[in-house]
Structure 1
Amino acid sequence: MRRVVVTGAGTINAIGHTVPATLESMREGRCGIGPLDFRDVDRLSIRIGGQVRDYDPEQEFNRQQIALYDRFTQFTLIAAREALAQSGLTFAGDLSAQTGVVLGTAGGGLNTHDENYRAVYEEGKNRVHPFVVPKLMNNAAASHVSMEYNLKGPSYTVATACASSNHAMGQAFHMVRSGMSDVMITGGSESMMCFGGVKAWEGLRVMSKDACRPFSLGRTGMVQGEGAGIFVFEEYEHARARGADILAEVIGFAMTSDAADIVMPSKHGAARAMEGALRDARLDASEVGYINAHGTGTAANDKTECAAVADVFGHHADNLLMSSTKSMHGHVIGGTGAIELLACIMALRDGVVAPTIGYEEPDPECALDVVPNEAREADISVAVSNAFAFGGFNAVLALRRV
């Protein structure tokens, strides 16, 4: 099977509008979670989130584009611009015909939904903009990336809640590894930072009113975030032949279903996904140095994930570093795995492991090294990225330093 490498990365999120800014924030342990700022926020009981600040769409897009691009699509296009620029690729001929886009999102154009429900139900309007459907559809971001860069290969959107991005990147990995494409654009995005988006999550009663503190005793729940992470996945020899800067190699992927409960995670499902990724990558558990945890900050997720890691890695779990960057940028739902992949690349490429900030007191049921509060230098050659979603869908990626 062919080797698959990452040759471009782009992002916009609560702790950085670019990859360098995001990695600097991760190294410094900066928190991007703060008071929410949008219409009717005073009607919410949850008023904090990892909102993208200092962002003006009119500085990035013209009026016609803004009429077509929901906020999640805007974030995708900004991140894709950075990733494609770094890759140095241009698309024409056979490369254009083969290259596709696989992206993840859970809610798609939720801001557009929210605005237009208000217009119809609250303001009594009987008409909406003709482009509401193309703007809110989950595949809008993937469609606009394909059109922007002349990508005519296999393209689609994956929606598996909080595992969407990892599932999307896993599918892109399979396409390049199998020979279907030499290059795929992949990742994910999400923007649920609107009244309806936050109000819906409030109903689950898993949200924190003060901070996201994964694995810390006394934690009070998860915090939503927003943003996008986009990557260029490329066949290794294709990348080498053109002298591309290789950020990391994707070496394994696995996905499982709990088939148990719509919201409660399963240790067995998570463990099978991690075991499957190691098996696909032909790795021994002892070779893994870092896990980017799903680490939402809820008691159910954190305890289940730690138990699954202990089962899979055995005695080696004591030597593992594991952290949750959701403590900094929030839970970006369908886009979260893509943004978190940057922490894996940083660990592999720069030898810096991002911290779990907000950590106050050890939880006996989460007795792993979660890199509390401060980033740590470490020699990491293999990293794993976990994503465990509502619906019992699990997706795990394994990466290696090149």
Structure 2
Amino acid sequence: MAAPGWRRPRARLAAALRCVRAARNWKHRAQRPPRAEPVQAALYVHWPYCQKRCSYCNFNKYIPRGLDEESMRSCLTREAQTLIRLSRVQRISSVFFGGGTPSLASPFTIATVLETVSRCAHLAADAEITLEANPTSAGASRLAGFRASGVNRLSIGIQSLDNAELRLLGRNHTAAEALGTLEEAKKLFPGRTSVDLIFGLPGQSVSSWAGGLEELLQLCDDHVSLYQLTLERGTSLFKQVQQGSLPMPKQEVVAEMYESAREMLRDVGFRQYEVSNFARNGALSTHNLSYWQGSQYIGIGPGAHGRFVPRAHGESLREARIQTLEPDSWMKEVLACGHGTRKRTVLSQLEVLEEVLVLGLRTDIGITHQHWEQFATSLSLWDMFGSSEEVKELEDQGLLLLDNRGLRCSWKGLALLDSLLLTLLNQLQQSWADRTAPGT
């Protein structure tokens, strides 16, 4: 009987040939270029209608008069088809229904849009699908309908838990209604219900703001968005403040409101992962992160914005797109052309880098070197900012960090981002001009 492991000469030759072939195949596989990642984008869907216009809002929204939802639904799906095909996007990473008040749309409309999107590109079963909701248009049965339609995350526009402040803002819900909607939403979307609050209101104090936030933190889910009131021209609130009938809090008081909110949220386990957004238990919004990371996104619906490369036209540069604002005009354009894009602007590489800088620094992670290299292959963060005395001064002040991880704001600097960006944008533009000048 032969010893273990012994092979006849023919068997040894066959085994050797198999080893050679395996090595050759491995070598060929190693030399093949890596498989390209599927082209992906986030999708924003704008529902332009509201029951009423809030006193502070200048978003693209309309009070419907004889709304034909079937026509709006048909145009939303057609524009989604057109722009997804134009971009040649293979994967939709997330969908966000904003407005307006998209909770006024029927669950059937939401489901139809999502079905259309999934036919045009891969939409993973666990992809984040967010819908903005106002308390008065989001009863328990309606919320259940949205969940059945494919929505798995809700963003509720509570804005305040003070009824006087809600009246001032022109909201058509009460604090009790807001909390009732929040309770129902948490049952249907546990861990995936976000709430919006506004601070810096006329007549608001630090103590009144902190009291309302403390009450909400005892009841909210795992995501909170805080927005400072911005007075927009053309709004009734702007007019009242300009006329002197409403006193706005001083800027240092507003800054104290923001700082007290950050600390309160941190104390109960929330991470400030973006200037205005806080999450715990990993409940970060992947859709909003795609904006801040400079990813492609497609905007459909009246007035929607987008950033993507129209590859079907043979283009290689990213475009900024704005859809026609007025719903009836937009629908006519969609029926005639397949989409209602009113404005297209080709972005230069510098303009893309400016957006990456401005948006990326809004997050606590900031901009990693690897992320920056996706947009600037030959000019690193060190090249752009490493030799700047102004940037070094911001580092010395404890506002900014530039290290082996990348470029980011400190906790203190995140609250002062707008003032830091002036310096950083100037430095980016100067470095770009120096590095790309002829003869350099």
Shorter-chain TM-score: which interval?
Answer: under 0.3
Higher helix share: 2
Larger radius of gyration between Structure 1 and Structure 2: 2
| Larger relative contact order, structure 1 or 2 (CA cutoff 8 Å, min sep 6) | 1
